[in-house]
Every structure is written in structure tokens, then in C-alpha cells.
Amino acid sequence: MASEEELFANIDALLEEEPQLPPPAERARLRQAAGVTQARLALALKTSTQTVKNYENGRSEPRSPRLEAYQRLLKGWAQKYPAHGGPAPAPVPAAAVTVVPPPEPEVPETFTSPAASEAETTAAPLPSPPSPAAPGRAARAAARPAASSSRRPAAKKAAAPTTDPRFPHGPLAVLDGDGSAYGVDGLVLDCPATTVVELVEWALRESGLGAPKLHRYGKDADPLLVLTEAAAVKLGLPERLEDRRGLRLPEDHPVLKQITKAKWQLTQRGFGPWARVYRKAQGRERQCVQLAILPWNALDERSWPGVAEMEPADVARVLGVYAQRVITPRGSTAVSGLELMTALRPPTRPVRDETTGNWVSGHNPGSLGTEPMDPAPPEGQPEHPAVFHSGWKGGFLHEEAFQWVREVDTLTAEDCRLPWAIGLDLNTAFLAAAARLTVGLSEPVHFVHPPFNPKIPGAWLVDLSGIELDPRLPSPFTPTGERPTGPAWYQTHTVAYAQELGHNVEPLEAYLRRETGAYLDPWHDRLKTAYVTTLADLGVTKDLTDEQFLAAMEQHKSADPAMAAVLAAIKATVKGGIGKLFENPQGKHYKEGEPWPAMMRPTWRPDIRAAVISKARVNMHRKMLNMARMTGLFPLAVLSDCVVYPSPGPSPLDILPYATSGKPQPGAFRLGPTPGLAKLEGVQSMDWAVDLMEKGLNPARHIKGGDAVLDDGE
């Protein structure tokens, strides 16, 4: 007989499962019974016809909020059109289905491109028998209108998301010194807390703050409380942190003693600008609150321009929109970018143990799992223990963004007669590169002299030094744009581009992964939607002509500083999230060969970062090559996603290729508001650009004017 504990565990697993959709065939039957085409349904769900087809053939499942909308529609149809004249079949809860691993598939000759399904992975055919593998491894809150106090600024309302009854007051609040907690959509709550412990308990028991999970197997977002300087001081915190290096309160600080006495805990990072206070979960109930301390520079000016100086209601607006469109902030934008990946691809899901019949935690296909993975030797760095202790001397991947300046002696008289230098910047180039990007999900395996396959992600040792290209363009194979001098390690996209250019590639070695998938797809899709939606809030929409687009971009930052700050944070989330995949050891006491905290995360994946950057650099080179073929113009310099061209006029319209119909030519740089399309970065004189080039400086770094420095990618 099963024990009470086992029975309750089974029931808890069932309760944890969300209601599911009817089987795919029933979805199609209901739509057809209603006389609705797939195209019309796709329009209603704001998705593609192919995606609706995938829903109806079982290849993919909708995600929130489309999941709930689709459920509501199918439920309504089921009441109108029951099967066989009887009652409509009830959806089958996923928890009632036994999860059986699929049989090992036969290895095909080539890859099948991974579908957009959030869980689908591909078993990659490896090219030859492997040599030994690489080294292993909320009293209720009283709400009142914001206008109830004359001193409080009225918060501009953002588009309100669907309210979750568990979190009626949204994901976060900004606490001021008078106990006013400013929430999203102009809401103001009374917070009576006078200590950090009281604040944490109010947040969990009375505030009504939090946000629902982004994936059915994920976790709800913890309440976020942002403290102004006045609020921090009221709660007993210092105005400034004395420990500027460690960025944390000393262990003997009274606030930390209060937290410990109340049996709350802090993460290993201690109490810093982003502090997480928690107790171990009781059953399925999490007890965790995220704090952000504004006077301690929690909102860095580079990622959140001007936000720290805004009124609390406006800070809440900015962060609330970001939380709605991206994720409730959990730290820096880089940390939030990485956390978003995991929130959209949770590492585990409930599966049924066939031996005991219990529901247990199992791997979620398409995710990175719960354990860190050692890199292949060339994917890592000398400090990594697996590399350091192996004595590896075979070199490393160097897939980085372009930093290239054209040799002055390659400038022609025609180039020098052009009066202007124009900088074009690609929108979120790294995000564009992450779209439909196949990456490795399993451990790397070593091969000797494998045939090259452009569909297998990995590191390839190839000699590309014999490839001669136009010196007026950077070499696509190195970040410096210089021609390779011998065999070197490259990510798959770099080698595939050499092949695309017509050159034979013969790898000497490779480290490849059998299991692959489009891991970053949901991350890309959510951030792309956030970016495009926020630009549209600033008046930059997809329906603008190129002339209108350039005019809108000139003034978009001044149209609404709060939304401009959200846009900057979204871009920083992209760049920082990719950067976090290969976080280096930090601290003066670190010793080579010792593990460091970042590498102990499953999301420490230098190979995925290399894949994104390799694809982004190749995309940039392909556009430059097509520009040269279509216009005869060659770049003066490139810095990551910014390229500078000589121009007869001061507008991008003077150099970009257009068809006789007036439409932009595909393949070259095009203006527009979506990731991968271009915008104007800056205009200077040609003499200015040449002068910098002669001094060995990069015009792309300063093209904005005012000696502006462009970040190395977005």
C-alpha cells in the first residue's frame, strides 16, 4: 500500500500541472467545425499559419499568453461542436500521461532543421568514430490612487498585462521613505515596514506582488522591491556602500543580524545592490523577495539611462514595462538576460517514475539541464580546470566581434573625393544572430579529420590562411579582420562561410555535439517582441518609409525618456545575456586552474556565445560584401555592429542600394526597426574619418560625435 506521503506527493504533482489543450487532431476538428481557416486563426492569435499547423499536427505547443487564449477558444468551440453529438472531450492533463523516452533514432545522413517547438532537439550525426571524449565534468495592502498626494507625480500608464489573481498588484514596487510603494499602472500601496525583515514579510504576505512563470515548467517571479535612498535609510541601510569592490554590507551590520535572527537567509552574494532574502521553500510555496537598492547603483546608468534620477512612480513605470515585456529584473541586465534564458527553458519537468509510479523531476528536453558542462579544450580558456590540468596546448577559439580599420593606402581617389563618412549600426545584431540558431546541448566529442558539416555546431580546426579576399574588406575569419596565418579553431558558422564563399575546407580536428537544438529561440522571440514594441511606443514603427524611419529615429529618445530607458535596458539585456555565457574568473585572489562561481552554472556555455558571435560577424561581412557588389562602396571601418562608409551625401539614402521600384535590395544593409536591420549611427566628414584612420583609430568608435564610444555590440 502506498503511504500517505507518497499519495500526497502524487496529488501535488497533479496540482502543479496546468490544464492542457485537447489532442492535436481534436484542435483541427474544432477549428474545421467552426469554419475557420488556419490563416484566420493565425491572425487572431497573432502568429503564423505554419505555427497553427504545428499546433494541429503536434509538432509544437503554444506558450503564454497565446496558450491561455487558444485554450479559451477551443473550450468555446468544444461547447458548440461536441464530438459525435455527445459532450466534448475533456483535455487530458499532462500529469496523467506516462512520459516514455523515445527510442534511439537512426542517425540520418544530414541534420533536420530544428522546429520552433520549445522542447525539440536534434540528434546530430557525428562524422566518424570518436576518439576519447573531451575531459568530463501579502494585513491586505491598502491601495489608493496615485493622485491622493499632491507631491506624488502621476505615473504614466503602461499597457496593462493580464492580471494574475495571485499577483493583483503586479511584479514590483518602488518604496519611498514615507511608506508609499509605487507599483505599475499608477498604483500606490501603503507599506508600514520599518525594517528589512518587516518589508520582506509584507512583500510575501500582504503586497500582492509577483509575476506568473514564463514557462509551464518554470517558477513564478519573486516580488521585487526597489528602495529609494530615503527608503533605504528608513530601513536602517547606509546611503552608500563602503565596500566598493565587494559591493555588500559587512557581516556585522545590524540589518544582517536582524535578518539572521528572524531566520531569513541571503544568497552567497550577501546584501548588495541586488539582495535576495529567502527561506527554504515549504512544500511548493516559495519564500523569496528580491531587493534593489537605488543609491547603491542597482540600476547602472549605462543600462538604465536616467532611471536612478527619476521619481519613484516613473521608476516603477520603467521597471514594470521591462518586467512585462522581458522579465522581472533579478540583478543587472546581464543577469536578467541569462535568467530569461532559464525561465524560458527550465532545466527540469515532472516525469513519471515507471518503477514507483511517482512523479519526479526529470530533464526538460531542449534545456541545458541542471549540471555544468566542461567545455571542449579549444572552447574554454587556460584558467578552466579541465583545460589547465589536461596540459592542453592546442589553441583556443577566438570568435569575437569585428574591430577593424581599413588600410589607408587602399583608399582610392574616388573614395577620398566623397565628402561624408556615414556610420550604419545594426539593431541588436547579437539578437538577430540568435534567431533559429542551432547549438550543442550535449557534451563535446573529439574527432580527427572529420568531413565538414555546416549543420553541426562545434569547434573545427581548419587552415583558412590560403583564402585570399579583397583587402578593402576585413577577413571574415578573424575579429581583427586580418588574414589568418595558419590552422586555427573556428565555430561552425565561420567555417561554413568560407565554404559559402567557394572554398574547400578540410578540418584537421573537431569537437562536436550529438544533441542539438534551437535553445535560444524563445529568448530571441521574447526579446525581439520587446524591442520592436518599445520602439513602436517611441514612434518608430514597421510601416514607416525609410525617410520617415530616419526622422523618427532622430527624436525617438526624447519622445518618452522612460520608454527610451526601457529600450536601452532591452539592448543591454541582449548583450549582457550573451556575455554571461562566457564569464571569466574575477577577483585578485583567483588562481589559475581553480574553479570559479560562474563556470559552475549550467548556463556557462562559451560554445553558445561563440556560435552567436560567429554568426553575427559572418552576417556583417555578408552584408558588406553584397554592398560592394551592388554599390561599389567598401567600408572604412567596422566595430562590432557599426560600419562606416564613405558617402556622396550625409544620409544613408545616398549609399544604400534600392531597386528601380524603390524597394531596398535584399542582402545588403537595409533601414528598419527590427533586429538585424540598420539605423543611422552618425555622420562626420570624410577628412575626419581619414585623419582617425591615419592615427590608427577606429572611426566607427567615434562616429556619433562628441568623442562618443560605441559599445562592442548590443
Structure confidence at residue 339 (pLDDT): 97
37 & 69 share domain = yes
Structure confidence at residue 458 (pLDDT): 97
560 & 655 share domain = yes
**Which residue among 289, 308, 329 closes a domain?**
329
Structure confidence at residue 269 (pLDDT): 87
Nearest-angstrom CA–CA distance, 172 and 329:
9
pLDDT tens sequence across 49-65: 767 887 888 767 787 77
Structure confidence at residue 52 (pLDDT): 82
Decide if 656 is inside a domain. yes
For the ranges 95-109, 353-367, 526-540, the lowest mean pLDDT is seen at: 95-109
pLDDT tens sequence across 517-550: 999 999 999 999 999 999 999 999 999 999 999 9
426 & 512 share domain = no
Structure confidence at residue 4 (pLDDT): 65
The number of domains in the chain is: 4
Distances (CA, A) of 226 to 264, 270, 569: 19, 17, 16
- Which phi-psi region, left, alpha or beta, contains residue 213 (left: φ > 0; alpha: ψ -120 to 50)? beta
Helices (H), 280-332: 312-325
pLDDT tens sequence across 151-197: 333 333 444 445 788 899 999 999 999 999 999 988 999 999 999 99
- pTM here? 0.78
Structure confidence at residue 103 (pLDDT): 36
CATH code of residue 69: 1.10.260.40
- Mean pLDDT across the chain: 86
Of 202, 204, 201, 251, the residue nearest 223 (C-alpha): 204
pLDDT at 395 over 70: yes
302 & 415 share domain = no
Better pLDDT: 64 or 338: 338
Structure confidence at residue 124 (pLDDT): 57
Instruction: Please name the residue that has the C-alpha cell 511608506.
Output: 179
630 & 653 share domain = yes
Structure confidence at residue 51 (pLDDT): 74
185 & 254 share domain = yes
Decide if 105 is inside a domain. no
**Terminal Cα distance for the chain, rounded:** 59
pLDDT tens sequence across 579-591: 999 999 887 778 8
Decide if 591 is inside a domain. no
Decide if 346 is inside a domain. no
Structure confidence at residue 1 (pLDDT): 54
**Which residue among 492, 517, 542 closes a domain?**
517
- Mean pLDDT on 649-660: 95
- Mean pLDDT on 248-268: 94
pLDDT at 400 over 60: yes
For the ranges 134-143, 313-322, 607-616, 705-714, the lowest mean pLDDT is seen at: 134-143
511 & 532 share domain = no
- Mean pLDDT on 41-48: 79
189 & 219 share domain = yes
453 & 411 share domain = no
Range of the domain at 445: 377-401+439-517
Where does 283-347 show beta strands of DSSP type E?
A: 285-293
- Cell reading at 79: 461547447
pLDDT at 93 over 70: no
Confidence of residue 17 (pLDDT cuts 50, 70, 90): low
pLDDT tens sequence across 481-506: 999 999 999 999 999 999 999 999 99
397 & 407 share domain = no
Nearest-angstrom CA–CA distance, 68 and 213:
13
Structure confidence at residue 13 (pLDDT): 57
Structure confidence at residue 256 (pLDDT): 95
**Which residue among 478, 494, 517 closes a domain?**
517
Decide if 425 is inside a domain. yes
459 & 390 share domain = yes
Nearest-angstrom CA–CA distance, 189 and 39:
45
Amino acid found at 296:
W
